Every structure is written in C-alpha cells, then in structure tokens.
Amino acid sequence: MTLTQHLAFTGLAAAALAPVLGAQDLALFAAGGVLIDVDHYFLYIQRRKNFSVPGMFRYFAELIPLERSISYVGLCVFHTIDFFLLLALLLFWHPQLWPLLAGCLFHFVLDLCDLKRKGIIFIRPYFLVEHLIRRRRKGYPWY
C-alpha cells in the first residue's frame, strides 16, 4: 500500500476510535499505523546505499509493476511477528503504549489484505529466521 493509502485508512480508523480513546492514545495509534513503514526506508538504504527520501518513494513506486515477478523483496523488520512480540513484551513495562501496538497491527493487517489481493502474500518474510533462510536463495538480492 502507498503512504497516502495508509494515511487515509489510519485517519479513518482513528476517527472511528476518537469517541473511546484520548488524544494521546489516538496519536500513538496513528504513529503506529504509519511510522511502521520506516523499515522500507532502511531496506532502500541497504539496497541503494542512498539516503534520499524522494528516491525511496521512487524506488518502491517502480517496484509496483514488478511485484508479481519478484519472489522475495527483502526484510522489512517492523513488519515481522518478531517485532510485534517485542513490542508486546515492552507493554509489560509501559502499558500506555498499547495503542502504538494496535496501530502497528492495524497497518500490518492492511498490508496483508493488500498483498493477498495482489496474490503476493509471501513477497516479504514474517519472521527474522525466515529472512535468514530466504536471503540465501539464488537471485537474492535482486535490483
């Protein structure tokens, strides 16, 4: 999904949650729903050795027509079950961060639905160990 799509869906979800959540919780939910995509920037830096934010958006926009021909895009660490478990563990010490986890999970579910719709649900790993195994396959990394 694009940044614009994530902003729109997260904004709608936050508006629906506004009657039951306070401003701080809504801000955390929205942050989790959008900032989770920072890992795409890390992937871009790793692949291109470039720190350009506009370049990152162009890079991923160029991938859209290629998605069906790519078997594995690479590691987006904030989109892994390991990250969600770590964030859930953090809640034991900072329970006020639960809306951040909820926003991240909301984003993740949106991504899963989008990837399933496109027929490329396994284009990214869902566990760190899965990435370590998949990156050894022939053709990784592709450019």
pLDDT at 2: 82
In a domain, 11, yes or no: yes
pLDDT at 140: 67
Closest C-alpha among 57, 53, 1, 10 to residue 31: 10
Task: Provide mean pLDDT across the span 98-125.
Answer: 93
In a domain, 103, yes or no: yes
In a domain, 22, yes or no: yes
Rounded to an integer, what distance in angstroms lies between the CA atom of residue 118 and that of residue 123?
10
Tens-place pLDDT, residues 8-18: 999 999 999 99
Task: Provide mean pLDDT across the span 76-103.
Answer: 97
Q: What is the tally of structural domains in the chain?
A: 1
Contact criterion met (CB below 8 Å) for 37 and 77:
no
pLDDT at 63: 82
Q: Which domain holds residue 35?
A: 3-134
Tens-place pLDDT, residues 43-57: 999 989 999 999 988
Half-sphere exposure of 36 (CA within 13 A, CB side): 32
Task: Provide mean pLDDT across the span 110-136.
Answer: 91
Distances (CA, A) of 56 to 47, 50, 107, 123, 126: 10, 8, 19, 18, 22
Mention every residue, 6+ apart, whose C-beta is less than 8 A from residue 119.
Answer: 68
pLDDT at 143: 44
Rounded to an integer, what distance in angstroms lies between the CA atom of residue 84 and that of residue 124?
16
How crowded is residue 117: how many other Cβ atoms within 10 Å of its Cβ? 9
In a domain, 143, yes or no: no
